[in-house]
Structure 1
Amino acid sequence: MSKIKKLLLLTSIVAVAAIIINIIGVDQIFSVDQLKQMLNENKLLAIVVFCLVFSAANLLYIPGFLFVAAPVSLFSVREAFVIVYIACIVCSSISYYFVSFFGNDLLRTFDNRLSRWAFENIDKRPIFSVIVLRTLMQTTPALNYTLSLSGIKFSNYILGSMIGLIIPIFIYCAIFALILNNNYVF
């Protein structure tokens, strides 16, 4: 299968899934209360399920704020940070492997001045590039897809993701703690 066909197939799968989710209202199924209940019942199993649900939701463009609000409403900011951080790393890894399946370096086949400039910068400093992008865009599905199709090595992708997600996730957790009036902020 040609790279263009693979890109079209990937785009079609994501678009159809997003349309179905919007029509059915799957994003309404996940409420903060349901996620809180799941996290309270069996913490270890809940964290594993939380990571998988967060990953699936991210792949399907379901808003991620629910996934930050639930742990913050139950735990301190530090504990919520760890849970959300783990979920983001798992999510980023799953996205990388899922999307890379359709073409690890697919975007490099598009030859224009902007793409050449972007790939030259990513190739020069791959970890730094991912750190900056993650700090600015966190686990935005479009970023996950783009990085996964850029030909970047997984080791650079995940190391940059791990470093770049620290500050924004902590900020999100702290803001949600203030919004939710969490009594045990730190």
Structure 2
Amino acid sequence: MTAGARGRALLVRHGRLLAVFAFLTLLAAGCALLGADEHFSAEAIRQRLLLHPVWGFLIYVGLFALGNLLQVPGWLFLAAAVVALGPAHGGVLTYLAAATACAATFLVVRRIGGNALREFRQPWARWLFAQLDSSPELAVAGLRLMFQTMPALNVALGLSGIPFRAYLAGTLLGLPLPIAVYCLFFDQVARILGSGG
């Protein structure tokens, strides 16, 4: 097989991965050109939550979902919600928004890339998928405990071929504990900064 033929075969085999990468790159470039990055600061998010109680929630969820696709860390949204609404309300809001954002990223990536990661036939990949397939809900919950809403994790799981129902169940099961811990942490930081100022 010639080098050109091998390259074409590789492109065909990994075309869906390239399509996901291209989509995420174009989305990031488009948002940067439109100046959307200014909406992804903790202060901008906090202001929207305070100024628009009802619409602020919808804007928050939308920004969280878009931010997840743009690889913006979820803790930024959590910190803004805790400072704006307190740990209890901010935590509940973040839990709902995080679950929605993770689900949206999964569905968008799955739609574009299918189960493209299953194309890898190496022993390590087969071992990882065997672990994931044996109990996908618990595997996702465990990953959430370690990595919370990490955008790259959502992309990888979207391409993994696991069923959406298992993904969502694992996400809902695994997010409460880390969100609660982060809420307490950000609340303490806000109190320290507030008393210091």
Paired position in structure 2 for 1:99: 109
| Structure 2: gaps of 5 or more residues | 1-10
Distance 2:95 2:13 in 1: 33
The letter for the 1-side match of 2:122 is N
Residue 42 of structure 1 deviates from its aligned partner by: 3.0
Distance 1:163 1:130 in 2: 9
Spell out the pairing of 1:65-144 with structure 2 (5 A cutoff): 65-144=75-154
Spell out the pairing of 1:1-186 with structure 2 (5 A cutoff): 2-18=12-28, 26-181=36-191
- TM-score, normalising length from structure 2? 0.84
RMSD: 2.2
Contact 1:105 1:149 in 2 (8 A): yes
Equivalent pairs, count? 183
Of 3-12 and 131-140, deviating more is: 3-12
Per-residue deviation, residues 105-143 of structure 1 (Å, max 9, x unmatched): 211111010110011111111111001111111111111
SS state at 2:180 partner: helix
Contact 1:3 1:103 in 2 (8 A): no
Distance 1:167 1:10 in 2: 30
Structure having the higher Rg: 2
Per-residue deviation, residues 18-51 of structure 1 (Å, max 9, x unmatched): 3565677643443333222211233222111101
Larger RCO, structures 1/2 (Cα 8 Å, 6+ apart): 1
